[in-house]
Amino acid sequence: YMENDEENHALVADEEAPTEFALMAKTSAESEVFDNSLCSKACKKNTDSLNSKITELTDKLSDSKNMIYHYRLGLSQVEARLVEHRNQKVKYYEKIKVLEFKVESRANCIKSLTKELELIKKEKEGLDSKLAGFQIASKDLDSLLESQRLDKNKEGLGYNAVPPPPA
């Protein structure tokens, strides 16, 4: 029974007067919820329409739950890959730090060896100039020795032919 006739209710057709009816539940093998004999045509039409909408919405709900499951599965896979990438990122940062340390160490070593090479080059230049001086002095000494007289011929040098004293 409807209290206000002016209200628009979805279950009542526009031109049909509101009627009172009762739904009764049966406990049968067919699991019918109501007795068709007590429903009007409009009620049956609305009930069938609602049942089809319920079935449609149930199917959509099932599809949505299936989609949510797959989205969550995909999300968990993406999150797992993200964790893996973050771990790889940490490992790469550690490797980069080690490589940067090695590069810095090698650069310092190269700098040290370059300084040592410069010192050795200067020392070599000094030794080369000394060697050149020694070579010139050696040539001069050789030419001086060649120009001197033989040991046995000492004439004109203030020596007399006197035998050495007996020992």
Nearest to 42 by CA among 22, 15, 24, 6: 15
Higher pLDDT, 165 or 48: 48
pTM exceeds cut of 0.85:
no
Report pLDDT digits (tens) over 62-94: 999 999 999 999 999 999 999 999 999 999 999
> What are the pLDDT digits (tens) for 122-166?
999 999 999 999 999 999 988 887 777 555 555 555 556 666 778
Query: What is the C-alpha separation between 153 and 155, in angstroms, rounded?
Result: 6
Using a 10 angstrom Cβ sphere, with 0-12 exposed, 13-18 middle and 19 or more buried, the burial of residue 39 is: middle
User: pLDDT band for position 22 (50/70/90)?
Assistant: low
Residue with tokens 């006197």: 162
What is the distance between the alpha carbons of residues 93 and 166, in angstroms, rounded to a whole number? Answer: 95
Residue 83 to residues 8, 90, 94, Cα–Cα distance (Å)? 57, 11, 17
pLDDT at 30: 47
Report which of residues 158 and 42 the model is more confident about: 42
Helix (H) or strand (E) holding 59: helix 41-147
